[in-house]
């Protein structure tokens, strides 16, 4: 078998992992979730949750990958025996589900990048822009072709391998992404009336805090850090066996949090300066923000910059979502990387077809009363990822336990006292919290 690749440098790993973490979740989900759930008060809870659960589960995935030098299926199997292999397989399948709807959104983003560059969004009327968005997303061929185009970009990047494909793309795209974020945030905060947006995002409103705030923050943290589907495990498996982990993990987490905050500071002032509504997701990104871009001075530059930012963020995340499946088929089944990439990309795209069509062309495509698109999103984010994270925490905390502790304290440059604290979190704190998000987000409590 061909030797497995390693990252070219630890910095390359950090960039790639941060590229995975910083995605649509930071840009179109975080600002709204924070604003709705009490602004600064939510932020304090979110940061606490990231520090406790985010760090511990992220480190668990990375250590598991680094120690085994295997894909998720092989990693669980190597340390836990055959019966644990399905835990890795769940991650692989979750990746297909996530990517199938992620590419649809990414396809719209490419369309809007093109439209904004060509001056095709030049209206301040949200009704008109709304109709334009419905016409695009509800179409048959255009959104599918765009999703296929995006998938081809993902395939071409991932097909280049770890250092020449994934690492190189992230080394170029991550600095670009942060440059765009900082530029947009600085510009947005100078807009007259933008201060109200900053206040929406940051001013603490403790009256909005309830039990649901904690679960919202937990779910946001796990999605944003790409946890619970073997993605960070797989990226960790390309580290050399004795690579130090403390600083790298801290850097990945900080970049993810900073990106989310910057996205909020770039978007909310615009929303408030132009009196549009701070809703989440497609409506905000493709309808209300374009209206604001058309009305603002310099909008002809800010608009394309924003959609470029979104496309870049989506690309660096999408390539990581495919990697667990690719590493599994190449490690365990001896497939060539090229063949694996195109097979996996085609499966995701095929699964994306009903998602895309359910946005308007075929509204009858529903599962359990949700559009196919929303059902995939729900299944992945609310069920499969929390289940995956729960299994990872229990596996590393309880089954691997002592071995994990030694792995972390002996060869990772993490002081033993921190390593012991980490194990306690994985054993006693993360599992009950994850069970709670699962029960809450599936509506069982």
Token pair recorded at residue 337? 């990387």
Cβ proximity of 239 and 66 under 8 Å: yes
Q: Answer yes or no whether residue 287 interacts with ligand PHE by CB under 6 A.
A: no
- Among the residue ranges 64-72, 240-248, 317-325, 344-352, the one whose residues contact ligand PHE (CB under 6 A): 317-325
Give the binding-site size for ligand PHE (rule: CB under 6 A). 15
Q: How far is the CB of 196 from ligand PHE (least distance, A)?
A: 26
- Considering the complex, state which of residue 348 and residue 357 has its C-beta at the smaller distance from ligand PHE: 348
Closer residue to ligand PHE, CB minimum distance, 329 or 405: 329
Question: Where do we find the tokens 């030694």?
Answer: 406
Q: Tell me the closest approach of the beta carbon of residue 229 to ligand PHE, in angstroms.
A: 5
- Long-range contact list for 74-79, CB < 8 A, 24+ apart? 74/328, 74/331, 74/332, 75/233, 75/237, 76/395, 79/395, 79/399, 79/400, 79/403
229 binds ligand PHE (CB under 6 A): yes
Considering beta carbons, is residue 223 or 372 the nearer one to ligand PHE? 223
Question: Rounded distance, CA 394 to CA 392, Å?
Answer: 6
Residue with Cβ nearer ligand PHE (133 or 223):
223
Closest by CA to 389, choosing from 79, 74, 72, 15, is 72
- Of the candidates 13, 14, 15, 23, which one interacts with ligand PHE according to CB under 6 A? 23
The binding track of 90-119 with respect to ligand PHE, each residue x by CB under 6 A or -, is --------x---------------------
Q: Is 58 in the site for ligand PHE (CB under 6 A)?
A: no
Among 321, 326, 344, 414, the residue binding ligand PHE under the rule CB under 6 A is 321
Q: Does 319 bind ligand PHE (CB under 6 A)?
A: no
Q: Is 371 helix (H, G, I), strand (E, B) or coil?
A: strand
User: Under the criterion CB under 6 A, does residue 68 sit at the interface with ligand PHE?
Assistant: no
Q: With binding defined as CB under 6 A, does residue 224 bind ligand PHE?
A: yes
**DSSP alpha helices (H): ranges in 225-298?**
231-237, 246-273, 281-283, 289-295
User: Which secondary-structure segment (H or E) carries 367?
Assistant: strand 366-367
* DSSP-assigned letter for residue 5: P
Query: Distance (Å, rounded) from C-alpha 420 to C-alpha 105?
Result: 41
* CA terminus-to-terminus distance, the chain: 49
Q: Which residue in 133, 165, 130, 64 sits closest to 426, CA to CA?
A: 64
Binding-site member from 103, 146, 217, 231 for ligand PHE (CB under 6 A): 231
Considering only 100, 170, 226, 382, the residue that binds ligand PHE (CB under 6 A) is 226
Among 14, 17, 18, 24, interactor with ligand PHE by CB under 6 A? 24
Residues that bind ligand PHE (CB under 6 A): 20-21, 23-26, 98, 223-224, 226, 229, 231, 317, 320-321
């Amino acid at each position: 078998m061909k030797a497995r690749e390693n990252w070219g440098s630890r910095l390359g790993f950090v960039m790639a992992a941060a590229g995975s973490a910083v995605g649509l979740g930071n840009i179109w989900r975080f600002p709204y979730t924070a604003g709705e759930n009490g602004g600064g008060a939510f932020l304090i809870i979110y940061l606490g949750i990231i520090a406790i659960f985010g760090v511990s589960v992220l480190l668990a995935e990375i250590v598991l990958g680094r120690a085994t030098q295997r894909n998720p299926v092989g990693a669980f199997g190597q340390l836990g025996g055959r019966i644990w292999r399905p835990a890795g397989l769940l991650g692989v399948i979750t990746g297909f589900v996530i990517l199938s709807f992620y590419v649809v959104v990414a396809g719209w983003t490419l369309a809007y990048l093109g439209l904004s560059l060509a001056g095709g969004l030049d209206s301040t009327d949200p009704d008109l822009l709304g109709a334009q968005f419905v016409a695009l997303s509800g179409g048959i061929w255009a959104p599918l072709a765009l999703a296929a185009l995006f998938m081809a970009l993902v395939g071409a990047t991932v097909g280049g391998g770890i250092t020449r494909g994934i690492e190189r793309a992230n080394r170029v795209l991550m600095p670009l992404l942060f440059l765009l974020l900082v530029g947009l945030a600085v510009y947005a905060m100078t807009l007259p009336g933008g201060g109200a947006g900053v206040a929406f995002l940051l001013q603490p409103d403790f009256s909005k805090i309830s039990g649901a705030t904690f679960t919202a923050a937990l779910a946001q943290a796990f999605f944003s850090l790409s946890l619970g589907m073997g993605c960070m495990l797989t990226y960790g498996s390309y580290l050399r066996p004795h690579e130090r982990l403390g600083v790298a993990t801290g850097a990945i987490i900080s970049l993810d949090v900073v990106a989310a905050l910057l996205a909020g500071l770039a978007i909310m002032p615009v929303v408030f300066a132009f009196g549009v509504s701070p809703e989440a997701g497609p409506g905000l990104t493709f309808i209300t923000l374009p209206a604001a871009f058309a009305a603002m001075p310099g909008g002809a530059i800010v608009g394309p910059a924003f959609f470029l930012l979104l496309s870049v963020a989506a690309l660096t995340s999408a390539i990581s979502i495919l990697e667990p499946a690719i590493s599994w088929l190449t490690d365990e089944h001896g497939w060539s990387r090229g063949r694996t990439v195109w097979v996996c990309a085609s499966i995701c795209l095929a699964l994306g077809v009903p998602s895309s069509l359910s946005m308007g062309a075929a509204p009858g495509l529903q599962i359990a009363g949700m559009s196919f698109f929303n059902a995939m999103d729900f299944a992945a984010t609310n069920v499969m990822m929390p289940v995956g994270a729960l299994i990872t925490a229990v596996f590393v905390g309880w089954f691997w336990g002592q071995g994990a502790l030694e792995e972390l304290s002996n060869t990772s440059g993490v002081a033993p006292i921190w390593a012991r604290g980490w194990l306690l979190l994985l054993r006693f704190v993360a599992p009950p919290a994850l069970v709670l998000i699962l029960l809450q987000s599936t509506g069982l409590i």
